[in-house]
Amino acid sequence: MAVDFSSGILGFVLKHWLILGFYFLVILLVFIYRKKFQFQLKFIALCRTKLGLGLMDRIASRHAELVKLFGYVGIGAGFMGMAFIVMVLAQSVFTLLTVPGSPSPITPVLPGVRIPGTPDAFFVPFVQGIIAIFIVAVVHEFAHGVVARAHGVSIKSSGPAIIGPIFAAFVEPDERQLRKKDDVVNYSVFAAGTFSNILLAFVALFMLSAVFVPVGSAFFSPDGVVLRGVEPGSPAAAAGLRQGMPVMAVDGQPVDSLKDNALLGLQFLAPNKTVVFSDGASEFIVVAAQGGDGRGRLGIVMEQAWKNQGTAGFAVFSWVQQLLALVATLSFGIGLANMIPVGPLDGGKMLHLAMTKLRGEKKANRAFVKFSILLLIVILFLLSPIFKAIIKSVAGIF
């Protein structure tokens, strides 16, 4: 089930009552139990508990050296992730400025909500999205807590959190104790969450490739290729291609698998190259636009279609497979997003600590604030296509 904004307000409510009801219930529960929540900046709600603290202590005490090593390795991964995400943001700004009609390269993660102005590939299913975010958030915060405990830093509390409409979790180490530790300990605690998310993503991908792909042959047989998504305003959309359309042939060559040469060649298209798609009944002529990397861009996302063999357990297998794929995607994406060197994010804490050691506290504070403001402006600019699309869609409801 997905929320869209294409119908009138009554139809919108009737069509998406389950998702709207869920978010309303969350808001109602937070209001009823507001005394158990601590509110920050008006839109962040923290429910302080002792959940998981005992398990953190046991793991940290029994495997202290291994946990510390995990944190130390995470420092390198954290700084590399920080550099990577900054380069991605810079490249995205260039693309948005030079390629007219480019979609936003970043998007909020709102399960069940099809956010206007974002490619269909960015959509997160409702139930699987809630579960995946819970898994990713718990692993992230648990890693912070275990590494902190391995270095003798107390954990005051942990629990669920709500940041606007986004679900999260938190672990609260004793900041005074942490500040007294050396820089390496601080870096390792800050980087532990992102490093654990990256490892979780690889574990999920390994399970998909080593278990679900081989086992999947018992449930499925290939059944052609379909368009998973078509970007609004893209060359593909202009040519009439639509989401869910089967791709039977490309440039006259029959297509049955994503590994077919006709489809593999689309990765290396030159700008202005003409590609002819066929759905078996009609042909669609698409002229590639220039993408941000200089290659041709069609504006489509394709996926392998599979035929259900009718074996019992197909629905459960497919659901779990999709959940694992979502965990891998969100774990990698959310982990890297936490390395954006801004404000209270883990990447911001690491950068601020490094700048303090290099330039002194006063100069570092001034420079860090300016850099954070610059990055926030960049992020808002990258989100601007979404803001415009939301305003247009909401206006359409009324």
Superfamily of domain 222-308: PDZ domain (2.30.42.10)
pTM (2 d.p.): 0.75
Give 264-310 pLDDT, tens digit per residue. Answer: 888 889 999 999 999 989 999 999 998 877 889 899 998 888 777 66
3-state secondary structure of 50: coil
Query: Smallest Cα–Cα separation from 110: which of 146, 60, 164?
Result: 164
Checking if the pLDDT of 5 tops 50, the result is no
pLDDT of residue 288: 93
pLDDT of residue 6: 47
**Measured at the alpha carbon of residue 197, what is the angle toward residues 191 and 203, in degrees to the nearest 5?**
135
Q: What is the mean pLDDT of the chain?
A: 87
Name the E strands within the chain. 37-40, 44-47, 155-163, 166-173, 220-230, 246-247, 249-250, 253-254, 274-278, 283-287, 289-290, 296-297, 300-308
Q: What is the DSSP string of 258-269?
A: TTSHHHHGGGGP
pLDDT of residue 76: 96
- Rounded Cα distance between 164 and 152, Å, is 33
Give 126-170 pLDDT, tens digit per residue. Answer: 889 999 999 999 999 999 999 999 999 999 999 888 877 777 888
CB atoms within 10 A of CB 329: 19
Average pLDDT value for residue range 380-394 = 84
- pLDDT band for 365, please (50, 70, 90 cuts): very high
Tally of CA atoms within 13 A in the half-sphere of 257 that contains its CB: 5
Question: For the stretch 154-188, what's the b/e string if a residue is b when 16 or more beta carbons lie within 10 angstroms of its beta carbon?
Answer: ebebbbbbbeeeebbbbbbbeeeebeeeeeebbbb
- pLDDT band for 217, please (50, 70, 90 cuts): low
Average pLDDT value for residue range 57-67 = 96
Checking if the pLDDT of 10 tops 80, the result is no
Checking if the pLDDT of 174 tops 60, the result is yes
pLDDT of residue 398: 56
Beta bridge partners of 286: 275
Structure tokens at 313: 């357990």
Cβ atoms 164, 103 nearer than 8 A: no
- Of 90-99, 116-125, 170-179, 352-361, least confident by mean pLDDT is 116-125
- Rounded Cα distance between 237 and 390, Å, is 19
Q: What is the DSSP string of 346-397?
A: HHHHHHHHHHHHHH-HHHHHHHHHHHHHHHHHHHHHHHHHHHHHHHHHHHHH
- Domain extents in the chain: 9-214+325-397, 222-308
pLDDT of residue 43: 73
pLDDT of residue 41: 67
How close are the terminal C-alpha atoms of the chain, in Å?
22
